[in-house]
Amino acid sequence: MNLYHDPRIVMTLDAGGTNFRFAATRGGKPVTETVALPSNGADLQQCLDNLIIGFARVKALCPEAPAAISFAFPGPADYPNGIIGDLHNLPGFRGGVAIGPMLQDKFGIPVYINNDADLFVYGEALGGLLPHVNSLLEKAGSSKRYKNLFGITLGTGFGAGIVRNGELFTGDNSMAAEIHSLRNKLHPSMDAEEGACIRAVRRVFAEKTGIPFEQSPEPKDIYAIACGQQPGDQAAAKEAFRCLGEVAGDALANALTLIDGLAVIGGGVSGAWPLFLPELVKEVNSNYTGIGGKTYRRLNQPTFNLEDPAQLETFLKGESRTIKVPGSERLLQYDPLQRLGVGMSRLGTSEAVALGAYAFALQQLG
């Protein structure tokens, strides 16, 4: 699929709990300005009206008729049928609301809805981290290439998505890669999301400084404290992000055991990666301890921090060697270093979601 030369226009939406941001894409690039409207999540009729108004305004800005609508919307949802379930951030949605069929009836074009983390990873697989790493491998003279990508988003929640061989994997109930439901390593009675999201960073900082959670600053301020850019308890701030890295790394290790591909990270907390990524990769590379005290690798494949120049160099170089085919003089190049890598979004989270939404619509249209 050549996204960047496709002439079709797709209208997209960035659906947040406070605002809806509408736009249109062609050839993987925006072709309209963004139209912003309040989401009115507590008032279902106003929310639905604004969905129609927003797409109508974007359609009027398009240089030609759009071929489809494609966007991310919070779940739970029956995404293939365009039906949204009971939402936490948009309390007006109760009992199942068929917004996909509603928009299709209104605009007369196909409507595709997906989870935002799924579309984020799809965008990074097609135009972000995955092609970036494969390009670096090619330039380094390596024969190694990656086809699979697992991604996580660290923000209000802890989301994830899977792309396998260029195709988005969503599961039979549109609930694949629900990484937030994995067990929290540091608090086993809780799910992983409680240790790998905005409120997790705030909670640990509050606990370490002895302040109420309500008085705990936002992660961007905690990051500034950790970096010495703002006054505050620097050790507590660093520990808040270290804990996030440990919990997210534990969950990611479970996922990579099954996926065996690269991993990409995005979301609102991802800008603080210098504080949590080393701990995350350390956790993925941690050991199990067996009976008798013998230790062994959690994952067979060593995992590299692709944002660390030294680790990236080792990852790209591999362990290429020349071997002889038994019984002949024929030689083969062989790289025995089976390896994984974790890197940050190359597109930006919102941009990756928009590209993923656009690509998904084109793939469905054929």
For 212, the 3-state DSSP assignment is: coil
What digits encode the pLDDT tens for the residues 205-248?
A: 999 999 999 999 999 999 999 999 999 999 999 999 999 999 99
According to the model, what pLDDT value does residue 197 have? 97
In the chain the domains, ranked by start, together with CATH numbers, are 3-114 (3.30.420.40), 120-347 (3.30.420.40)
Is the pLDDT confidence value at 1 over 70? Answer: no
> What DSSP letter does each residue of 114-128 carry, written as one string?
E-HHHHHHHHHHHHS
For residue 237 the two structure tokens come to 């701030």
According to the model, what pLDDT value does residue 87 have? 79
Buried-state track 72-94, b at ≥16 Cβ within 10 A, e below 16: bbbbbbbbeebbbeebeebebbe
What digits encode the pLDDT tens for the residues 322-352?
A: 999 999 999 998 899 999 999 999 999 989 9
According to the model, what pLDDT value does residue 18 have? 80
According to the model, what pLDDT value does residue 220 have? 97
The winner for highest mean pLDDT among 101-105, 291-295, 347-351 is: 101-105
Please state the rounded mean pLDDT for residues 246-257.
98
Strands (E) in the chain, as ranges, are 9-15, 19-26, 29-30, 35-38, 68-72, 77-78, 83-84, 97-98, 111-114, 148-154, 158-164, 167-169, 262-266, 287-289, 295-297, 303-305, 321-324, 331-334, 340-344
**Terminal alpha carbon distance of the chain:** 10
Please state the rounded mean pLDDT for residues 45-72.
96
Please state the rounded mean pLDDT for residues 126-136.
97
Decide if 158 contacts 115 (C-beta within 8 A). Answer: no
Phi and psi based region of residue 190 (left: phi greater than 0; alpha: psi -120 to 50; beta: remaining):
beta
Please state the rounded mean pLDDT for residues 46-74.
95
Question: What mean pLDDT value characterizes the chain?
Answer: 95
> Degrees (nearest 5) of the Cα angle 98, 103, 106?
130
Q: At what angle do helices 116-127 and 349-365 cross, to 10 degrees?
A: 90
| Pick from 163, 164, 159: nearest CA to 251 | 159
